[in-house]
Structure 1
Amino acid sequence: MRKHLIALGAVVLAIAATVVGFGSPAFAATGLHVSGTDIVESNGNVFVMRGINHAHTWYTNQTSSFADIKATGANTVRVVLSGGRWTANSAAEVANIISLCKANKLICVLEDHDTTGYGEDSAAYTLDQAVNYWIGLKSVLVGQEDYVVINIGNEPIGNTNPGQWTAATVAAVQKMRSNGFQHLLMIDAPNWGQDWQYTMRDNGQAILDADTRKNTILSIHMYAVFNTAASIVSYLDTFKSKGWPLLIGEFGWQFSAGEVDDRTIMSEAVKRNLGYLGWSWSGNTDPILDMTTGFDPAELTTWGQRIVNGPNGLKSNSKQATIFAGGTPTTSPTSASPSPSVSVSPSSSPSPSISPSTSPSTSPSPGAGACSASYAVTGSWPSGFQGEVKVTAGSAPINGWTVTWTYADGQTVSQAWNAALTSSGSSVTAKNAGYNGKLAAGASTTFGFLGSWTGTNRVPTPTCTSS
């Protein structure tokens, strides 16, 4: 679960309903619903999402995370699900997730991660397949409209032909409604969620118009594309000027120069009464994006401290939904004054919304005392990418490993984790860290890195040697 990056919102602007197409819905509101640019509970109280993403589908045993996330002050948890790209989450399991959300007084945003990077990632599902997954879960979703938001597909289009996003999303929204879903729908942007080519920014009205219930909110994922205050403010101002409901469905933090400006994201979201959902609680293959160490709420990382205890963080700016006893009503916000328009340029940093390997090239099966390695591109954006290598011991234990590969297209590598990585021209060498060199027979470990590319980014074939 890691990938490309962006941010949230629900901006308020008094624009006539006949102009923006967001007047009173043709149907009586059911549960959480959009009113203008706000999310509103069934009792009429404005609800501003303040929460955390949780990678449930890869860590199904971490059910205590729901209570731990609630303890941060969060009022919402966005839950990663899979319909089959990874181990499928069944209707019974999803029903249990909803129960955990309700028991911990959290609004539950359910997202299908199978669609991540479609068109660029060959393993990704279509949005239509995602809708079929939701249809299969309908029996446990109907009646939960007060508590559940359906995020149809995570980062549903990569950087290849992002223009296909509009028609695919319109069809997905229409299919959800024709199958009887009345829930608030959340729609992720293309470009791995970051919309750096502005497909969602320029075509959002088509998505909103496709919803017969007028109950859809757009979601931006803010990572390295949004590494300056100007780029963040400009993007949010554009949605405000159009009167479209928006939230920041994922974002990371500025752990190094050129990374996402999390402080501006949170301050702008608070100023504008926009929702934000940080990525993510724990379990990332790139641990820099973990808010906790090993899912331990007593061990908040730097990122965890910033989003939980920071000046615009969860402790001071999250209000529980009033559907739960003790929830605090939220008044409608006042609109913030616009800032100058600034173009957003993509940057070569990863976004976390992608997960286990998607395009590996694996060496032959290892023999005794040997090892093998597989290479995958787990995230890609203009001029940059994120890679992951899985190292597997053969039929005998090993005490250390070295993986080498050679690029054919001029790629370069930089920051790495879980390995000591060096390069010379097109050749790259990675050696185990002190804690992951010893592997039992058949056991595996992974390491990751960032890289740059231009034109072509073919997957090399790695070679593993052991000691």
Structure 2
Amino acid sequence: MRRLIALASALLATLFFVAVPPASAATGFSISGGKLYDATGAEFIMRGVNHAHTWYTSRTTQALADVKALGANSVRVVLSSGDQWTRNDATDVANVISQCKANKLICVLEVHDTTGYGEQAAAVSLAKAVDYWISVQSAMTGQEAYTILNIGNEPWGNTNTSAWTADTKAAIGRLRAAGFTHTLMVDAPNWGQDWSFTMRDNAASVFASDSLRNTMFSVHMYGVFDTAAEITDYLGRFRTAGLPILVGEFGHNHSDGDPDEDTIFSYTQSQGIGYLGWSWSGNGGGVEYLDMATGFNAAQLTTWGQRIFNGANGIKQTSRQAAVYGGGGPVDTTPPTTPGTPSASSITSGGASLSWTASTDAVGVTGYDVVRVSGGTESALTSTSSASATLTGLTASTAYTVAVYARDAAGNRSTRSGTTTFTTSPGSGGGSCAVAYKVGSQWQGGFGADVTIRNTGSTAVNGWTLRWTFANGQTVTQMWNATASQSGAQVSAVNAPYNAAIAAGGSVGFGFNASWTGTNAAPTTFTLNGASCTSS
């Protein structure tokens, strides 16, 4: 995704596929009759999401646990060859695979640096992607039963797409010659949407070029696929031809048009076709609405997140765990038992520790969501995998009423626990903090800023929330080293787990990107855990 796509105006000639019988099955996953089978010989239909690992490596452990808890059976993981972003080496790839296996997820690994090749100047070729896969082959060998190798993301833009066929065949040939026996996945050109039908009309010959007949095809469905007829015709041609197809990315909305996600869900389910939605969290560049979870928080599913996980023909309703992990049975619909009422301890001005009696569940409790209860509403505070949690970023001298939910491996959520109320300690008062706010770069409609918080008091700060108000309608679109929330003009930045403490005399920093129009005045008033700070 990540690119506006123009729908082709000319009608392209209709070409029909010729089904190609599979060769002997590869170790692990294999293709037969246009369907994907795992190492046990059971059919496997992907029901999962994409996760942007290469940009959010510190989020992957929790992200994989969360999407599994919500019912996913697979995850497509963004990697970088080092040509556009920081390279994910063999050690990191092995760690990602290990985490997928720990969560009983099938791991689809893709190189993102190929996105839009031929049109996007920084993008690299499929040949470069193959170089990368060969360089990390040690991490992939022996994992054929748990991983699928997606050679390169959206490997051609909208120019010279006819080269896609030869490039894809060459990439498959090199990987097989290097000894890879994995099921391979190839993305369509036209930024994945194949409006030129290049992949559709050449899929049979590409499949036949694979010496193992173990390649599947991935189309990305955004604005090009805004009608039911376009979706069913495209996917149906692969089904009729006996060629394996997957919707490797799609969303509920996009800047290039409004995808018909309801048809994607219903048709893939009726035809036994896999899908992987884009994406768990962390989107920027104007497509933040494609986040399924706000700020990587599984307790704060967005409209899109609710649709893909809990909606009709969504993940929770249709996902089956891979048989290689002992799955394939009926969907578990029984929630865990209600967790015990939490108790609070170690209360400070900015945080507290909670513990509660653990829940039980027939298939295992995978996590807990801690929420703040105020009147008839709830707001997420944190998620944890154990029956305890540490809260940070709370406001000093403030009463908090909290409760807990439990989640199981099928994505079921328990009833809410009883509530407990505690009050945070008083803050250290005004004059104990100083904030430096600096706009580092600015462009038409957007800017980037760096913020430094300095603790000028005599005691350490343990957990912090910095608040300010924009004067000109600016809106934060992305934040790093802190988690942002915004209500109108007021912005709150909450510490990350690794920078919660600010020693006396010490400082921490974070940055963000934001949009602006007309005027971009810097805020002048900041509060840290409710205490006023001086500006510096």
Do both proteins adopt the same fold according to a TM-score greater than 0.5, normalized to the shorter chain?
yes
Cα pair distance change 1:41/1:374, threshold 3 Å:
same
1:391 aligns with 2:441: no
Q: Tell me the amino acid that sits aligned with residue 290 of structure 2.
A: L
Cα pair distance change 1:222/1:326, threshold 3 Å:
closer
What's the offset of the Cα at 1:316? 1.1
Contact 1:110 1:151 in 2 (8 A): yes
Cα pair distance change 1:326/1:272, threshold 3 Å:
closer
Q: 2:110 aligns to what SS in structure 1? A: strand
1:372 aligns with 2:441: yes
Contact 2:22 2:212 in 1 (8 A): no
Q: Distance in 2 between matches of 1:324 and 1:437?
A: 42
Q: State the match for 2:250 in structure 1.
A: 251
Cα pair distance change 1:86/1:255, threshold 3 Å:
closer
Q: State the match for 2:71 in structure 1.
A: 73
Q: 1:135-154 maps to which residues of 2 (within 5 A)?
A: 135-154=134-153
Q: State the match for 1:314 in structure 2.
A: 315
Q: State the match for 1:434 in structure 2.
A: 489
Q: State the match for 1:60 in structure 2.
A: 57
Q: State the match for 1:337 in structure 2.
A: none
What's the offset of the Cα at 1:369? 6.5
Q: Distance in 2 between matches of 1:369 and 1:64?
A: 32
Contact 1:321 1:327 in 2 (8 A): yes
Q: State the match for 2:174 in structure 1.
A: 175
Q: State the match for 1:356 in structure 2.
A: none
Q: 1:397-427 CA deviation, whole Å, 9 max, x = no partner? A: 9986989xxxxxxxxxxxx9748xxxxxxxx
Cα pair distance change 1:42/1:329, threshold 3 Å:
farther
Contact 2:190 2:196 in 1 (8 A): yes
Q: Distance in 2 between matches of 1:83 and 1:113?
A: 8
Q: Tell me the amino acid that sits aligned with residue 177 of structure 1.
A: R
Q: 1:166 aligns to what SS in structure 2? A: helix
Cα pair distance change 1:202/1:310, threshold 3 Å:
same
Cα pair distance change 1:390/1:159, threshold 3 Å:
farther
Q: 1:373 aligns to what SS in structure 2? A: strand
Q: 1:100 aligns to what SS in structure 2? A: helix
Q: Distance in 2 between matches of 1:220 and 1:324?
A: 27
Instruction: Please identify which structure carries the higher strand content.
Output: 2
What's the offset of the Cα at 1:395? 11
Q: Tell me the amino acid that sits aligned with residue 309 of structure 2.
A: V
Cα pair distance change 1:389/1:316, threshold 3 Å:
same
Q: Tell me the amino acid that sits aligned with residue 303 of structure 1.
A: W
- TM (norm. structure 1) is 0.71
Unaligned runs of 5+ in 1: 7-16, 331-367, 376-387, 404-415, 420-432, 450-461
What's the offset of the Cα at 1:311? 1.4
Q: Distance in 2 between matches of 1:395 and 1:48?
A: 48
What's the offset of the Cα at 1:72? 1.2
Q: State the match for 1:292 in structure 2.
A: 293
Q: Tell me the amino acid that sits aligned with residue 39 of structure 1.
A: L
Q: State the match for 2:87 in structure 1.
A: 88
Contact 2:450 2:512 in 1 (8 A): no
Q: Which has the higher relative contact order, 1 or 2, with Cα contacts under 8 A spaced 6 or more apart? A: 1
Q: Distance in 1 between matches of 2:270 and 2:4?
A: 25
Q: Tell me the amino acid that sits aligned with residue 33 of structure 1.
A: S
Q: 1:316-395 maps to which residues of 2 (within 5 A)?
A: 316-328=317-329, 371-374=440-443, 389-392=446-449
Q: Distance in 2 between matches of 1:395 and 1:72?
A: 37
Contact 1:115 1:125 in 2 (8 A): yes
Q: 1:363-407 CA deviation, whole Å, 9 max, x = no partner? A: xxxxx97653257xxxxxxxxxxxx8443469999986989xxxx
Cα pair distance change 1:399/1:50, threshold 3 Å:
closer
Q: 2:325 aligns to what SS in structure 1? A: coil
- TM (norm. structure 2) is 0.63
Cα pair distance change 1:284/1:369, threshold 3 Å:
closer
Q: CA RMSD in A?
A: 3.4
Q: Distance in 1 between matches of 2:438 and 2:217?
A: 52
What's the offset of the Cα at 1:224? 0.8
Cα pair distance change 1:187/1:5, threshold 3 Å:
farther
Contact 2:72 2:105 in 1 (8 A): yes
Contact 2:116 2:191 in 1 (8 A): yes
Q: 2:72 aligns to what SS in structure 1? A: coil
Cα pair distance change 1:325/1:441, threshold 3 Å:
closer
Q: State the match for 1:101 in structure 2.
A: 100
Q: Distance in 2 between matches of 1:464 and 1:161?
A: 42
What's the offset of the Cα at 1:435? 5.0
Unaligned runs of 5+ in 2: 7-16, 332-436, 455-467, 478-487, 494-506, 523-536
Cα pair distance change 1:5/1:208, threshold 3 Å:
farther
Q: Distance in 1 between matches of 2:49 and 2:302?
A: 14
What's the offset of the Cα at 1:221? 0.2
Q: 1:125-171 CA deviation, whole Å, 9 max, x = no partner? A: 11000001100110010110000000000001111221121111111
What's the offset of the Cα at 1:465? 5.9
Q: Tell me the amino acid that sits aligned with residue 37 of structure 1.
A: G
Q: 1:208-223 maps to which residues of 2 (within 5 A)?
A: 208-223=207-222
Q: Distance in 2 between matches of 1:466 and 1:434?
A: 12
Q: 1:323 aligns to what SS in structure 2? A: helix
Cα pair distance change 1:435/1:151, threshold 3 Å:
farther
Q: Distance in 1 between matches of 2:101 and 2:452?
A: 47
Cα pair distance change 1:255/1:210, threshold 3 Å:
closer
Contact 1:373 1:464 in 2 (8 A): no
Q: Distance in 1 between matches of 2:92 and 2:146?
A: 16
Percent identity at matched positions? 49
Q: 1:113-128 maps to which residues of 2 (within 5 A)?
A: 113-128=112-127
Q: Tell me the amino acid that sits aligned with residue 325 of structure 1.
A: G
Q: 1:261-276 maps to which residues of 2 (within 5 A)?
A: 261-276=260-275
Contact 2:78 2:111 in 1 (8 A): yes
Q: Distance in 2 between matches of 1:402 and 1:391?
A: 15
Contact 1:4 1:193 in 2 (8 A): no
Q: 2:264 aligns to what SS in structure 1? A: helix
Q: Tell me the amino acid that sits aligned with residue 232 of structure 1.
A: I
Cα pair distance change 1:435/1:126, threshold 3 Å:
farther
Cα pair distance change 1:73/1:442, threshold 3 Å:
closer
Aligned residues: 368
* Larger of the two Rg values belongs to structure: 2
Contact 2:4 2:255 in 1 (8 A): no
1:231 aligns with 2:234: no
